[in-house]
Amino acid sequence: MPYSPLGRGFLAGLTKRADEFPPGDFRRSQPRITGENFDANLRLLTGLEGVAVRVGATPAQAALAWLLRQGPDIVPIPGTTRRTRLRENLGALDVQLPSGELLQLEQLFAPAASPASATARPVSRRSTAESAEAEKFYTNRISYIMPAPDRGRPA
């Protein structure tokens, strides 16, 4: 299970250096956004943004879509406190990543290419049947988690 699959907001557009957060904010101590780690991760984000633009998705959706295609044992669970972000994250189920884009993301985030992912383990590809099964699993739970807008609940 990928922990914090959107990098505590970094892959969703929160691109601040650690020292830009107020004193006492836990993110000030996050190594991924300090010094040269921030610069390296910003380069990775730029590559992800390029893929996202080409497939008509947000960077967060592209990242989650890539994770969903890594294997049946990979289940990203992004945290959020906003319904708009929940809808955005669920949109990853509809993102189609052509093989060229998948390859680019694999190369971009390969452990050898990314100091931040040096401890990452290689994962297997998810088959089409497994992807369909995962989509069905998530889709069946969406109506429970996020009721249809016409039920009078706030957006």
Instruction: Report pLDDT digits (tens) over 114-127.
Output: 555 444 434 444 45
Going by pLDDT thresholds of 50, 70 and 90, the confidence category of residue 143 is very low
Give the tens place of pLDDT for each residue, 43-96: 888 999 999 999 999 999 999 999 888 888 888 888 888 898 889 989 999 999
Mean pLDDT is highest, among 18-22, 27-31, 73-77, for 18-22
Q: What is the DSSP string of 119-135?
A: T----PPPPHHHHHHHH
The domains of the chain, with CATH numbers, are: 10-151 (3.20.20.100)
Calpha distance 153→147 (Å, rounded) = 8
Calpha distance 125→147 (Å, rounded) = 32
What average pLDDT score do residues 6-22 get?
82
Residue with tokens 């049946």: 72
